[in-house]
């Protein structure tokens, strides 16, 4: 846990340096602390104690001594827990460290956090990503500045060669800790540093600068991809999901780019390349479903939608409800909420929204989609409206024997109030469904 919040010195701008006690962040903290004094900026140092090494306590103690000597306030955060079985230690440590640094920033009112990555780190990151077969997002490596949750994560030395930092440390006689895990060949970055980089640097003296420049180009390519995806997805996504069939009008590269971007937005995760290929190849056709990001991706009538597994709707119990007043009504047992609002037209008289019976389909129900249109079986009405089979288990509302409302279809036209009468609209919102089947 972190120490208590640091009281702000009146009106002095404040920033923090992510300080591991290693060579690079020692140099950065030294340089920043010196310059900040002149500029009257308050500098904090944030140290994350991963609890992974037997030396972690000694590193924290070293960081404390160093900061005390420089008059810098140090805040140490001890991580609890560890990687799950099969999880990479590196990935766990990175994620937990980032979360802890973000927490420290929020706790201490810091919105500028400096990290000591330099040009060699950037070149290594690009190489490691390339060796995993990454696309532009991976090859873009690390951005110089990035805003996340109100905090600017900045890497002021990202363009600096590693040698210049070594020279700075030597010139100022700075003491720093050596992390023994840097020699552990289980970690890909260490193998690259120890076994590959010396020969690479010898054979290609410009490798560091050239690879870092490639990362810059990849950042530009990534920005273009993102802009293109926003253009290509505009008007092709609604509450029923992504109109996949419309993406086929685009070139294959643009369609794949838009599809990847939509999958990322919908699921919060990067989709595997093989899945994107299978979807694009039209594998399975309409009605297909693929497990994806802890949920299910479904294709129905050319529309792709995704739902987290736990949130797949299952019919709840029959019960009585009153929806005669505007408002939001959480529906117990049905994982959803009713939204009722006063409207000038297209609603139901409030009288018909009292003492409603709420239940699942039983079969034999008939529905009228619009005034004057034919009465249809519910199955036909769902088909006509393009509601996929898996989204047909939402609740039905009855006033006595009259069907008032069907989730996914809306109000039965026979129950619509006459223009000018007081009336209420109804919407059914499934809980946290990422692709909600609201009513037209």
Ligand X SMILES: Nc1ncnc2c1ncn2[C@@H]1O[C@H](COP(=O)(O)OP(=O)(O)OP(=O)(O)O)[C@@H](O)[C@H]1O
- Which H/E stretch holds residue 72? none
DSSP string, 312-337: S------EEE---SSEEEEETTTTEE
Query: Based on CB atoms, which residue is closest to ligand X, 55 or 301?
Result: 55
**Residue matched to tokens 């899945």:** 275
Q: At what angle do helices 252-267 and 207-233 cross, to 10 degrees?
A: 80
The nearest distance, CB 119 to ligand X, in angstroms, is 13
Residues at the binding site for ATP are 20-25
Nearest approach, Cβ of residue 67 and ligand X (Å)? 12
Interface residues for ligand X in 89-128 (CB under 6 A)? Answer: 97, 115-117, 121
* Residue number with the smallest Cβ distance to ligand X: 22
Q: Which is nearer to ligand X, 190 or 354 (CB)?
A: 190
Give the nearest distance from C-beta 121 to ligand X in angstroms: 6
Cβ–Cβ < 8 Å for 225, 136 = yes
Using the structure block, give the residue that is written with the tokens 């034999």. 364
Other Cβ atoms within 10 Å of 292 Cβ, number: 20
Count of alpha carbons within 13 Å of 108, Cβ hemisphere only? 29
Residues 166, 179, 246, 365: which binds ligand X (CB under 6 A)? 179
Give whichever of 1 and 224 is closer to ligand X, judged by the CB atom.
Answer: 1
Choice between 198 and 440, CB closer to ligand X: 198
Q: Does 165 bind ligand X (CB under 6 A)?
A: no
Stretch near ligand X under the rule CB under 6 A, chosen from 18-26, 213-221, 226-234, 399-407 = 18-26
To the nearest 10°, report the CA torsion of 314, 315, 321, 326.
Answer: 40
Q: Which of 380, 405, 383 is nearest to 394 (CA)?
A: 405
State in angstroms the smallest separation of the CB of 105 from ligand X. 12
Q: Which of 14, 16, 19, 229 binds ligand X (CB under 6 A)?
A: 19
Residue 15 interacts with ligand X (CB under 6 A)? no
Tell me the closest approach of the beta carbon of residue 221 to ligand X, in angstroms: 25
- Closer residue to ligand X, CB minimum distance, 20 or 214: 20
Q: Report the residue from 16, 20, 75, 316 that binds ligand X according to the rule CB under 6 A.
A: 20
| Site for ligand X, residues 31 to 60, rule: CB under 6 A | 46-48
> Out of 13, 22, 143, 302, which residue is the one contacting ligand X (CB under 6 A)?
22
Spell out the residues 6+ positions from residue 230 whose beta carbon is closer than 8 angstroms to its own.
261
From 437, 401, 396, 405, select the one nearest 424 (Cα to Cα).
405
Q: Which residues of 352-368 are buried (b: 16+ CB within 10 A; e: fewer)?
A: bbeebbbbebeeebebb
Interface ranges with ligand X (CB under 6 A): 18-20, 22-25, 46-48, 97, 115-117, 121, 179
């Amino acid at each position: 846990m972190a120490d208590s919040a640091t009281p702000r010195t009146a009106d002095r701008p404040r920033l923090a340096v992510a300080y591991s006690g290693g060579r690079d962040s020692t140099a950065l903290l030294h340089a920043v602390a010196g310059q900040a004094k002149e500029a009257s900026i308050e500098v904090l140092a944030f140290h994350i104690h991963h609890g992974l090494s037997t030396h972690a306590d000694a590193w924290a103690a070293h960081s404390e001594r160093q900061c005390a000597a420089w008059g810098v306030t140090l805040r140490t955060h001890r991580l609890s827990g560890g990687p799950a079985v099969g999880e990479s230690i590196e990935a766990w440590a990175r994620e937990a460290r980032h979360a802890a640094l973000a927490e420290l920033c929020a706790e201490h009112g810091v919105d500028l956090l400096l990290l000591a990555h330099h040009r060699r780190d950037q070149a290594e990151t690009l190489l490691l990503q390339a060796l995993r077969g990454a696309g532009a997002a991976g090859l873009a490596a690390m951005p110089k500045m990035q805003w996340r949750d109100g905090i600017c994560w900045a890497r002021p030395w990202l363009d600096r060669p590693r040698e210049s930092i070594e020279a700075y440390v030597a010139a100022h006689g700075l003491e720093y800790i050596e992390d023994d895990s840097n020699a552990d060949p289980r970690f890909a970055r260490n193998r690259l540093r120890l076994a590959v980089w010396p020969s690479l640097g010898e054979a290609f003296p410009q490798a560091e600068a050239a690879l870092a420049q490639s990362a810059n180009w990849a950042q530009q390519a990534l920005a273009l991809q993102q802009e293109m995806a926003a253009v290509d997805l505009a008007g092709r996504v609604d509450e029923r999901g992504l109109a996949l069939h419309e993406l086929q009008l685009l070139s294959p590269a643009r369609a794949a780019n838009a599809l990847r971007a939509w999958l990322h937005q919908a699921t919060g995760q990067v989709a595997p390349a093989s899945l994107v290929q299978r979807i694009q190849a039209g594998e399975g056709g309409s009605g297909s479903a693929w497990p994806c990001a802890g949920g299910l991706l479904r294709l129905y009538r050319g529309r792709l939608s995704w739902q987290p597994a736990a949130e797949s709707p299952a019919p709840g119990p029959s019960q009585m409800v009153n929806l005669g007043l505007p408002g939001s009504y959480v529906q117990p047992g049905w994982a959803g909420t009713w939204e009722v609002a006063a409207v000038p037209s297209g609603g139901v008289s409030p009288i018909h929204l009292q003492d409603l019976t709420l239940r699942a389909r039983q079969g034999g129900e008939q529905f009228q989609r619009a005034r004057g249109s034919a009465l249809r079986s519910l199955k036909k009405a769902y088909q006509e409206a393009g509601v996929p089979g898996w989204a047909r288990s939402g609740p039905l509302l009855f006033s006595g024997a009259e069907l008032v409302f069907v989730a996914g279809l809306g109000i039965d036209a026979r129950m619509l109030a006459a223009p000018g009468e007081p009336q209420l609209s109804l919407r059914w919102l499934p809980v946290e469904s990422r692709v909600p089947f609201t009513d037209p």
